[in-house]
């Protein structure tokens, strides 16, 4: 049997339901390594692995269930197919990570799981962007166009990253103490309820603090007309907060252990908490915050190795497995790809692929405010 036939037979078994996704990914990795599969997601990688390649690619992400999903469903099969090790690091604070990248030598960091067009623009402004050879990433054709367009606008039509998933930063609440009806009625102002003082949390990130301060004062976060009112809401929230969290794992721990009853939260992390048996409600208030995440390739990285990893990660079978593992819809266009049964039930999923119902940071507006507002948030956080 030819290599391509082996792959086609394995893929057909998976699509017929004869093997589950975990088995498929595992067998796919072994098949690519042993046989040099000529077709499918492994073929190009295995052929390219015959040429000179680096021993490893570094990938940095958000840790927790997200990193676990990447490791299990993408990195391990890729390593088996190519012999290239994926060394994955984690970060919880995007600003601190950017500082690490900027102080390093080119090539020390390769791919990062960045959040939003805002970060993409920041990295470009610091001359950290690369230029992907899109011919080496054919699966990019399956990605929702609206997620690609804002990235291309920043880098004059080219890409330094591929969109990979999207979600929302909405409000999570413990149903033991807060009803769905109360959460829906109060929306963003639930986080300003005096009766939940010392049981409220919040993300320790200036953009989110300001976005929700704007919502709580009835303003458009991308066009704040009354900054004093917004900052007063941020200060009011600070007076009620038990703890600001700085990572997804900390967010989940605070809710699971009932240290806090309500907080802004990332949609996918709430899926993980529910799967662990916690009765956590989740809602996107009017004007709530949508975001996309991208796989960003740094200037100075081994481009061919990075491009083949990105292409593999966009392979539908792989991207769907990662999405189900981390709880965020993939960037794949549901009008082009059958995403299965679980993903349509995830928070923030848009079956149309147009994402018209989500509100995103305006990168030009927020980048212009970064220095002033981040410094002000630092003072507010310290109680000034």
pLDDT of residue 360 exceeding 60: yes
Distance set, CA 49 to CA 28, 32, 37, 54 (Å): 16, 11, 12, 10
Cα–chain-centroid distance for residue 90?
13
pLDDT of residue 3 exceeding 50: no
| Mean pLDDT calculated for residue range 213-225 | 97
* pLDDT given for residue 54 in this prediction: 79
pLDDT of residue 163 exceeding 60: yes
Q: How far apart are CA 3 and CA 12, in angstroms?
A: 14
Both tokens of residue 256? 């699971």
* pLDDT given for residue 301 in this prediction: 96
* pLDDT given for residue 279 in this prediction: 97
| Mean pLDDT calculated for residue range 88-111 | 92
Rg of the chain (C-alpha set):
21
* pLDDT given for residue 357 in this prediction: 81
CB 248 within 8 A of CB 63: yes
Residue 22 pLDDT class (50, 70, 90 cuts): low
Locate tokens 């197919």: which residue? 81
Label residue 63 left, alpha or beta by phi (over 0 means left) and psi (-120 to 50 means alpha).
Answer: left
Task: State the pairing for strand pair 111-115/280-283.
Answer: unpaired
**CATH topology (fold) of 3-166+291-345:** D-Maltodextrin-Binding Protein; domain 2 (3.40.190)
* Per-domain boundaries in the chain: 3-166+291-345
Give the long-range contacts of residues 336-345, CB within 8 A, separation 24 or more.
Answer: 336/142, 337/142
pLDDT greater at residue 322 or residue 198 = 198
Q: How far apart are CA 276 and CA 168, in angstroms?
A: 20
* pLDDT given for residue 69 in this prediction: 84
Of 198, 279, 270, whose CA–CA distance to 241 is shortest?
198
Residues 6 or more apart whose CB falls under 8 angstroms from that of 75 comprise: 59, 86, 88
pLDDT in tens, 35-87: 333 344 444 444 443 344 678 999 999 888 778 888 988 899 888 888 899 99
Residue 325 pLDDT class (50, 70, 90 cuts): confident
CB 283 within 8 A of CB 183: yes
Q: At 232, is the secondary structure helix, strand, or coil? A: helix
CB 111 within 8 A of CB 306: yes
* pLDDT given for residue 62 in this prediction: 85
* pLDDT given for residue 110 in this prediction: 97
Residue 26 pLDDT class (50, 70, 90 cuts): low
Residue 141 pLDDT class (50, 70, 90 cuts): very high
pLDDT of residue 337 exceeding 60: yes
* pLDDT given for residue 51 in this prediction: 40
| Mean pLDDT calculated for residue range 78-107 | 91
* pLDDT given for residue 40 in this prediction: 46
Alpha helices, DSSP H only, in 126-201?
145-154, 180-186
Could you tell me the sign of the dihedral formed by the alpha carbons of 119, 120, 125, 128, in that order? positive
pLDDT in tens, 166-183: 999 999 999 999 999 999
* pLDDT given for residue 8 in this prediction: 54
Distance set, CA 160 to CA 24, 88, 207 (Å): 30, 19, 23
Please state, for a pLDDT cut of 90, what percent of the chain lies above it.
71
CB 191 within 8 A of CB 216: yes
Mean pLDDT of the chain: 88
């Amino acid at each position: 049997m030819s290599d391509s036939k082996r792959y086609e037979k394995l893929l057909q078994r998976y699509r017929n339901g004869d093997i589950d996704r975990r088995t498929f990914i595992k067998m796919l990795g072994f098949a690519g390594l042993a046989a040099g599969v000529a077709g499918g997601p492994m073929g190009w990688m295995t052929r390219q692995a015959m040429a000179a390649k680096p021993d490893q690619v570094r990938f940095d992400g958000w840790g927790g269930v997200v990193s676990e999903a990447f490791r299990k469903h993408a990195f391990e099969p890729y390593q088996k197919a190519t012999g290239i090790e994926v060394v994955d690091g984690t970060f919880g604070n995007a600003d601190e990570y950017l500082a690490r990248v900027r102080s390093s030598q080119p090539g020390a960091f390769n791919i990062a799981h960045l959040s939003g067009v805002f970060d993409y623009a920041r990295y470009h402004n610091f001359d950290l962007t690369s230029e992907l050879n899109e011919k080496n990433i054919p699966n990019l054709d399956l990605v929702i166009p609206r997620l690609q367009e804002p990235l291309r606008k920043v880098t004059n039509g080219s890409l330094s990253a591929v969109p990979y998933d999207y979600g929302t930063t909405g409000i999570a609440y413990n149903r033991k103490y807060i009803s769905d009806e109360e959460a829906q009625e109060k929306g963003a102002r639930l986080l300003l309820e005096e009766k939940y003082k010392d049981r409220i949390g919040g993300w320790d990130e200036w953009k989110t603090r300001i976005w929700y301060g704007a919502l709580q004062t009835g303003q458009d976060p991308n066009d704040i007309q009354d900054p004093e009112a917004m900052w007063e809401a941020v200060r009011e929230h600070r007076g009620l907060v038990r703890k600001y969290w700085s990572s997804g794992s900390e967010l989940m721990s605070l809710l699971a252990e009932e240290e806090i009853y309500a907080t802004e939260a990332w949609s996918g992390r709430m899926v993980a908490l529910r799967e662990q048996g916690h009765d956590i409600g989740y809602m996107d208030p009017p004007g709530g915050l949508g975001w996309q995440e991208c796989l960003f390739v740094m200037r100075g990285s081994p481009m061919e190795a990075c491009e083949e990893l990105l292409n593999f990660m966009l392979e539908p079978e792989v991207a769907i497995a990662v999405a189900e593992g981390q709880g965020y819809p993939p960037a794949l266009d549901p009008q082009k790809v059958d995403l299965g049964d679980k993903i349509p039930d995830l928070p923030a999923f848009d079956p149309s692929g147009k994402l018209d119902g989500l509100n995103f940071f305006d990168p030009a507006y927020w980048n212009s405010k970064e220095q002033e507002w981040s410094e002000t948030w630092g003072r507010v956080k310290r109680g000034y």
